Amino acid sequence: MAEPGPGLKAEVEKVDEEKETAAPAPKKRRLAAGERYVPPPRKLRSGVSFSAAHFAETSYYFEGGLRKVRPYYYDFRTYCKGRWVGRSLLQVFSTEFRAQPLAYYRAAARAGRLRLNEEPVQDLDVVLKNNDFLRNTVHRHEPPVTAQPIQILVENDEVVVVDKPSSLPVHPCGRFRHNTVIFILGKEHDLKELHTIHRLDRMTSGVLMFAKTVEVSKRIDEQVRERQLEKEYVCRVVGEFPEHEVVCEEPILVVSYKVGVCRVDPKGKCCKTIFQRLSYNGKSSVVKCLPRTGRTHQIRVHLQYLGYPIVNDPIYNMEAWGPEKGKGGKIGKTDEELLKALVEEHRSKQSLDILGISEEDLNSNAENNDSGNSSECTESVQADPISENSCLAEDIKGSETEEIAAYPLNFNTNLETRGKNTELGSCENEGRQTGQKSSEERDPLCVECKITRRDPSPKELVMYLHALRYKGAEFDYCSKMPEWAMEDWEE
């Protein structure tokens, strides 16, 4: 065999020399007697991809015009937060995760569903340390969405453009995971590793664009930052909208991220929307909307301020806003009173799911009140969903008396006797087409399994706001006009 040339030989000698002079790997510190070892934090993958394993967690079924997700087991994972260090796991659960009673966590620990650094939690009195990694396996239920299919408008080597139905979040957030555009495209259309370019509110339908590569995403993101993209929406509003062009530049402030409510306020962010009436049928008007900025609920809030709310807007056309429904910014309530009135109005109609929240959410109140838990699902996509909710259950806490009232009277007692031999079972039941939960889909520790909720009607899951067109320097994508936007349409 020929001897390596001088150049290659020098490289080999250099590598050998570096190996000899390299600092030795740090030795693991010796633990004191009784001290608990905490492994170093893992490096997380970056990107936006969800794998086939994620898509295979559960399946869909269709019932009453709704797309439903079969309940499934899911791991909420998080690293120990700074404020938890030095506190016991029991103390953290009792103060920060009170959406569930302590009896639930004791039963979950006995069933092996609570893990600390991938080891089953044997004692909830264990004191948490920096870099502790916690995992909580829960039986997860998702709210139903419309059964209307996602229509693919364009697919090429660079982008996927779809017509999103109302009620579907774009990507996993809050209580939604599989009932999202990203998961449906991955599961039913084999479209994976998509990059979100822009977002639509959960209740808004219309043109939604994804990039297939990072390069395309960056290129279009640059156009977004430079405001080179034109967006056009249509909506149907209450009453006779003015025939002339109307421009609204009122600043918008977020009132609650959790419920997803905004209002006009001088302290809000500046924004601008141009409105042009397209038709009037004697009761309601179809209006073209041209947002020049992209604030949360911008079109809806501006229309409410002008006195022409969207006909079936589940937030901004409600009695909770007062007799004038927020026209001209006249509300006559504090933000807290407004939120309470909105929730009570939906609770009386059994329609909290339309807000993307549940009774359990309302019976609790996060320490970081309303921080990034919007019902409209505007958080960023996580590649490895270790921080999809960044919590052990719902990252919520509330008054203990409220929480106990949310469960059957014997719930705590029942949980104390469960969990010892409870193992994670399959939540699949192939071939089942009805909404009844079978024994395979019930979980002995799951509170949601014991609750019967009213399904929303397909009509309740439609809001008359549609993203009609999305135009850039190199593209122009448009969907069909919705049926409700036709000139001769009547309710």
Q: What is the DSSP string of 369-407?
A: TTSS--TT--SPP-SSGGGSS-SSSSS----HHHHHHTS
pLDDT digits over 222-235, tens only? 888 887 889 999 99
DSSP state of 175: T
How far apart, in whole angstroms, are the C-alpha atoms of residue 477 and residue 155? Answer: 11
Q: How far apart are the first and last CA of the chain?
A: 86
pLDDT digits over 14-53, tens only? 444 444 444 455 556 677 776 788 888 877 665 557 888 9
Which candidate in 201, 313, 353, 443 is catalytic? 201
Whether pTM > 0.85 for this model: the answer is no
pLDDT of residue 283: 93
Q: Which residues pair with 261 in a beta bridge?
A: 256
Residues 223 and 229: beta-carbon distance below 8 Å: yes
Q: Does the structure show a pLDDT above 70 at 167?
A: yes
Q: Does the structure show a pLDDT above 50 at 289?
A: yes
How far apart, in whole angstroms, are the C-alpha atoms of residue 450 and residue 408? Answer: 9
pLDDT of residue 421: 41
pLDDT of residue 458: 93
- Residue 476 known to be catalytic: no
Instruction: Report residue 404's pLDDT band, with 50, 70 and 90 as the boundaries.
Output: very low
Tell me which of 168 and 258 has the higher pLDDT. 168
Q: What is the DSSP string of 95-146?
A: HH-TTS-HHHHHHHHHTT-EEETTEE---TTPBP-TT-EEEEEEEE----EE
